[in-house]
Amino acid sequence: MRWIKTWGSYLLLCVLLAGCSLFQEVKSVAKPGVYGDFELSGRVAVQADGEGSSARIKWSHRGDVDAVDVYTPVGSIIAVILVSPRTGAVLETKDQVYEAVSVEALTERVLGWPLPLGSLKYWAQGQVNPVSALDKMSPRDAWQRLTYLEQDGWKVTFERYVEESPRPRVIRLEVRDLKIRFVLDDWKRLDL
């Protein structure tokens, strides 16, 4: 582990001295980290096509099944999103049920913007998606936590972490004209 810090410091120094970008170009699949089942609640703010909206969420990730409850800022339920390999993606509102093969396709069709839940389940844990190519990554912070990466076309900024913890508190996602900001208020690991 010590050689990683030394090598990382040396690489950063070389990049700075060469006047190059602080971002490393990476074109490989990331190595798996520690992932698991979790439940979290928080807030999400979305800015798309010049319009903004916000909501509260409760998200349960268990194995390959995700359930996301979406609430108004004052607590009324708006929608439930269920994703599993067996059923695909389902978004249910009070009046209607929508289905698609992926949550990205479903939310793009219903909401007008894609929700990258497949990668977000890793990013919300402060990790890189291990099954997707990593395009760019900035150096980690003093506690070896991610600060910025580009993956699956998304720019992901880890704005804040829970103090001295590997758990992100605020994550910003950007792709084209879409900006999504997650504030993760409560977090519980289920597989420990």
**How many C-alpha atoms does 72 have within 13 Å on its Cβ side?**
6
Query: Quick check: is 37 in a domain?
Result: yes
Provide the number of structural domains found in the chain.
1
pTM of the model: 0.79
CATH code, domain carrying 112: 2.50.20.10
Token couple for 52: 């903004």
Tens-of-pLDDT digits for all 192 residues of the chain?
Answer: 443 343 333 333 333 333 333 334 443 333 334 468 999 999 999 999 889 999 999 999 999 999 999 999 999 999 999 999 998 999 999 999 999 999 999 999 998 889 999 999 999 999 999 999 999 999 999 999 999 999 999 999 999 999 888 999 999 999 999 999 999 999 888 875
Given this model, what pLDDT does residue 6 score?
36
Query: Quick check: is 3 in a domain?
Result: no
Spatial CB neighbours of 136, under 8 Å, sequence gap ≥ 6? 23, 24, 25, 26, 148, 149, 150
Query: Quick check: is 7 in a domain?
Result: no
Query: In angstroms, what is the C-alpha Rg of the chain?
Result: 18
